[in-house]
């Protein structure tokens, strides 16, 4: 392994542990309540105000991408970002998105490029075909050590996904029964019964 590879992996680890910078972005004019615009009820639009990478993001679509329609993030990270999804690859120990200190650029990079040496897959269809991901290509990895490939997600949908995570999961307290009902909507009776106060 070249010196470049361990350095790149250290940079990835550092990005995961990084504390968030003041982030805030794309609230509708007037900053009305999230529910009024069809957004998740707990969406805090101030978390993405002024974040250039998330300009024009569709948080409602981002929620669908987080669910089974897109990246299926819930299978590892759980519907509420607690890291306790049921995917055997994550072993119920995926990143705690509620506690993540990543900024928008960090989330975009990790969703696109994954985290080499971990169960986190990459979702950019061009990842590791060139050096866009941590300056590495597939040739830089030993056989069997290549990053995991996830379902391809278009760049604009990665942006939508990040906007959803940052407004509705990151920096939120532990999920409540009300959060569960908002996530599961029509199937809340079945999925949220154990959380009733």
| Angstrom distance (rounded) from CA 48 to CA 54 | 7
Residue with tokens 């942006």: 159
Distance set, CA 39 to CA 18, 36, 71, 139, 159 (Å) = 28, 7, 19, 42, 16
Torsion of CA 177, 60, 71, 69, to 10 degrees: 90
Confidence band (pLDDT; 50, 70, 90) for 13?
Answer: very low
pLDDT at residue 24 tops 90:
no
Rounded to an integer, the average pLDDT of 189-193 is 90
| Angstrom distance (rounded) from CA 61 to CA 157 | 8
What pLDDT digit, counting tens, does each position of 36-62 carry?
457 888 899 999 999 999 999 999 999
Q: Mean pLDDT in the chain?
A: 82
pLDDT at residue 18 tops 60:
no
The pLDDT assigned to 29 comes to: 31
pLDDT at residue 3 tops 90:
no
In 38-174, the DSSP E strands lie at none
Partners of 122 in the β-ladder: 149
The pLDDT assigned to 25 comes to: 33
pLDDT at residue 90 tops 90:
no
pTM of the complete model beyond 0.85: no
The pLDDT assigned to 37 comes to: 54
């Amino acid at each position: 392994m070249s010196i470049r590879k361990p350095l790149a992996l250290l940079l990835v680890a550092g990005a995961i542990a990084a504390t968030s910078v003041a982030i805030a972005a794309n609230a509708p004019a007037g900053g009305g309540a999230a529910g009024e615009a069809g957004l998740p009820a707990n969406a805090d639009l101030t978390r993405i105000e002024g974040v250039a990478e998330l300009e024009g993001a569709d948080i409602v679509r981002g929620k669908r991408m987080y669910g089974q329609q897109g990246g299926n993030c819930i299978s590892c990270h759980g519907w509420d970002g607690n890291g306790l999804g049921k995917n055997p690859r994550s072993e119920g120990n995926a990143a705690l998105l509620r506690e993540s200190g990543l900024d928008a650029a960090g989330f975009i990079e990790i969703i696109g490029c994954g985290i080499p040496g971990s169960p986190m897959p990459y979702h950019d269809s061009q990842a590791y075909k060139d050096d866009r991901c941590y300056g590495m290509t597939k040739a830089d990895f030993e056989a069997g050590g290549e990053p995991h490939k996830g379902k391809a997600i278009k760049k604009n949908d990665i942006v939508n996904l990040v906007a959803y995570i940052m407004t509705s999961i990151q920096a939120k307290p532990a999920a409540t029964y009300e959060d569960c009902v908002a996530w599961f909507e029509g199937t809340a009776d079945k999925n949220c019964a154990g959380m009733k106060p």
